[in-house]
């Protein structure tokens, strides 16, 4: 039996296979509200046959957005708009759906990628004052962040909790805390961006403090049937920054606190990063972390071939495979992977007639196993 198409549990959440659609920003919200684009986007991904769909980085406050067009979950309007999208998607797909809750920190207040993606100063249209652990901009020439004081840190924790409570009301089955890609929780973890001299800076224990506070506070308000996990950058790819050894220590601490999964990415914190891009370039980091914990680990990063995804699981380098840009390029990747690996995949009844003649038995009606 294909490992990729075998079941997996992330804490209380049972998945029919080990293909995870990773969060992918769409920069198509209106004041944080989901739009028709999200119905189209999430709707097609929910027909892909994957085991889990995680909604894009969703800001816990207006200042937590990467761009002015980011999805949010900080007020009633955001909640209602996302609820409308989810109702439409769920009407036609039983796929489990989660959400990634995020705060962009010093990488907030930017233009959309197709408009250059550059930092926008607070006094400019679509701009605002960004926050960070220390007053260090992401790159030279960017506006200087405001260093969070203790009251500001407390407010960030409260914002994550409030967003998580909204996610629960929306019936989302999984919450992923975004502590990767150079955003706020990652900024506190890395000594390159965190130069504080208080209880939130310096030693590893202190740099982990905010993420652990957020994790504990969110976990306290979640019902037992909602999975909670964390996405991390395993390394900054910069000398003297966050690295795999520190990631392993964090993973152990999170596991002791009841973490249900770890989604392992890398980079994004410092423009000096030197990333050796290639198929599965982040898998060795995921494998090193997996070897140290029992928490399920999701590997991601240029995993595009079904045989490669299968090998990663067979070799116990990870427990699940995350797909991002690859599934945007090929929204039926799980179908094609099942065909290549001799497995079965769920498809909605409206699509059963498209099963190729030479692949009879590939499809099973959605919701069956």
The residues assigned a catalytic role are 183
Q: How far apart are CA 10 and CA 18, in angstroms?
A: 10
Torsion of CA 169, 170, 172, 173, to 10 degrees: 40
Plot region of 358 (φ>0 → left; ψ -120 to 50 → alpha; else → beta): alpha
Q: How far apart are CA 241 and CA 189, in angstroms?
A: 9
| Secondary structure tally for the chain: helices H, strands E | 11, 14
What b-and-e string marks burial along 292-313, b requiring 16 or more CB atoms within 10 Å of the CB? Answer: bbebbbbbbbbbbebeebbbbb
Residues in the chain: 369
Residue 125 makes CB contacts below 8 A (sequence gap 6+) with none
Q: How far apart are CA 272 and CA 147, in angstroms?
A: 22
Of the candidates 199, 170, 183, 194, the residue with the CA atom closest to the CA atom of residue 84: 170
> If you search the block for the tokens 């907030």, which residue do you land on?
108
Of the candidates 179, 260, 263, 262, the residue with the CA atom closest to the CA atom of residue 225: 260
Per the DSSP assignment, residues forming a β-bridge with 308 are none
Of the candidates 188, 212, 187, 191, the residue with the CA atom closest to the CA atom of residue 200: 188
Q: At what angle do helices 209-221 and 244-256 cross, to 10 degrees?
A: 30
Question: Is the Cβ–Cβ distance between 302 and 322 less than 8 Å?
Answer: no
């Amino acid at each position: 039996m294909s490992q990729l198409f075998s079941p997996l549990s992330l804490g209380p959440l049972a998945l029919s296979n080990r293909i995870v659609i990773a969060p992918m920003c769409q920069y198509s919200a209106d004041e944080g509200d989901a739009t028709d684009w999200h119905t189209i986007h999430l709707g097609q991904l929910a027909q892909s046959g994957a085991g889990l769909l995680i909604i894009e980085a969703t800001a816990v406050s207006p200042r937590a957005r990467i761009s002015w067009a980011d999805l949010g979950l900080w007020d009633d309007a955001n909640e209602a708009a996302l609820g409308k999208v989810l109702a439409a998607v769920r009407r036609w797909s039983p796929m489990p759906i989660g959400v990634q809750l995020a705060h962009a920190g010093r990488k907030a207040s930017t233009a959309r990628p197709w408009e250059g993606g550059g930092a926008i100063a607070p006094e400019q249209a679509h701009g605002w004052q960004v926050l960070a652990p220390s007053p260090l901009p992401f790159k030279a020439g960017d506006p200087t962040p405001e260093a969070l004081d203790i009251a500001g840190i407390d407010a960030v924790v409260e914002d994550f909790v409030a967003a998580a409570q909204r996610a629960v009301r929306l019936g989302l089955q999984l919450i992923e805390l975004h502590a990767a890609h150079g955003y706020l929780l990652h900024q506190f973890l890395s000594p390159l961006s965190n130069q504080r001299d208080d209880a939130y800076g310096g030693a590893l224990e202190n740099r982990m403090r905010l993420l652990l506070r957020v994790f504990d506070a969110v976990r306290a308000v979640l019902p037992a049937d909602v999975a909670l996990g964390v996405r991390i950058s395993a390394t900054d790819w910069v000398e003297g920054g966050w690295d795999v050894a520190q990631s392993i220590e964090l993973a152990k601490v999170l596991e002791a606190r009841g973490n249900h999964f770890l989604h392992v990415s890398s980079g994004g914190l410092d423009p000096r990063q030197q990333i050796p891009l290639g198929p599965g370039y982040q898998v060795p980091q995921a494998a090193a972390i997996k070897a140290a914990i029992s928490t399920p680990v999701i590997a991601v990063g240029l995993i595009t071939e079904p045989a490669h995804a299968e090998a990663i699981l067979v070799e116990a380098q990870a427990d699940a495979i995350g797909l991002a840009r690859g599934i945007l390029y090929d929204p039926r990747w799980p179908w094609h992977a099942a065909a290549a690996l001799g497995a079965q995949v769920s498809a909605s009844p409206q699509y059963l007639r498209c099963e190729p003649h030479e692949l009879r038995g590939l499809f099973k009606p959605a919701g069956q196993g």
